[in-house]
Amino acid sequence: MIVTLRTERICTLDQVRVFLDGNQPADFELTDRTTAYAFVRRTLVRFEYHGLGKPDKGLLRRFLEKVTGFSRAQMNRLIAQHRQTGNIRDHRCKPPANAFPRRYTPHDAALLAEVDEAFGQPSGPATKVILWRMYQVYGDVRFKRLASISNGQIYNLRKTRQYRTGRLTFHKTQPTPVAIEVRRKPQPNGKPGYLRVDTDHLGDYGGKKGIYLVNVVDEVTQFQHLGAVPHITQQFLVPRLEALLSAFPFTIYAFHVEKTGHRKSASAWSTRW
């Protein structure tokens, strides 16, 4: 909490010592950081802090910490600033003294917006190739910096105000859906090679988990192979299924499995191509 004295009734080190002991009455009010800095500076000047001995400096520092609410490290920085410059200023909300130079300018963001508007905002890698070709192949010097831009910086520039100002329309990159599997009931049309895969748990006995039977049947010829696994996991199922499928004397085109769940859903199938 940042506070300052409403009155300047504490004028001597003895009064400071009494104040720290809790016997000196004083009025406080909430204020901003700038006012607190001004109070610290006036106090250092009034008590001639830099000419005091070490015990008196420590006494005055504790007084300032208690009144302003600043930490010991903060107060040390303020006193050091006052010793070096004779003043105390708020250095927050200012750019760093040695800021990194900005590589891409607002003009580059507007140029990227022009490219995205013309090409329909392609993906980052595709945009990178376009920018590289504009400078290396077509010799457009406007794209000299953008020719070596990374994918991440392309998306960073697309978030800037200059980019959005240069765009007439703005759309996020649309993902292309890829069908990993098609779920539908098989249609063998009298042709073998379409298998039905089912598993059945034989139950537990004596507190031990029973095995699982893996039944693979061809839809047309009813050619059947049977295997067993201790657990329904990829570690056991993959080698067992590979062995069962390789035992069929014809080409396997697809297989479908029963959906897991209650037995009443046994008639539901999902074909995996």
Domain boundaries, the chain: 3-85, 106-166, 194-272
Which residues make Cβ contacts (< 8 Å) with residue 244, sequence separation at least 6?
214, 216, 225, 227
- Report d(CA 18, CA 237) in Å as an integer: 83
Whole-number average pLDDT of the chain: 78
Mean pLDDT computed over 136-154:
91
- Report d(CA 231, CA 211) in Å as an integer: 7
Mean pLDDT computed over 195-214:
81
Which of the given ranges, 102-116, 173-187, 216-230, has the highest pLDDT on average?
102-116
Return the pLDDT at 173: 63
Comparing C-alpha atoms, which of 227, 212, 129, 123 is closest to residue 173?
A: 123
Using one digit for the tens of pLDDT, what is the confidence trace for 1-34? 444 444 456 777 877 787 777 654 454 544 577 8
* Residue 261 pLDDT class (50, 70, 90 cuts): very low
Query: Which residue bears the tokens 């890698």?
Result: 125
* 8 Å CB contact between 30 and 1: yes
Return the pLDDT at 190: 82
- Report d(CA 193, CA 190) in Å as an integer: 10
pLDDT at 192 over 50: yes
- Report d(CA 127, CA 117) in Å as an integer: 11
Residue 153 burial (10 A CB sphere; 0-12, 13-18, 19+) = middle
Comparing C-alpha atoms, which of 230, 226, 207, 209 is closest to residue 217?
A: 226
pTM: 0.34
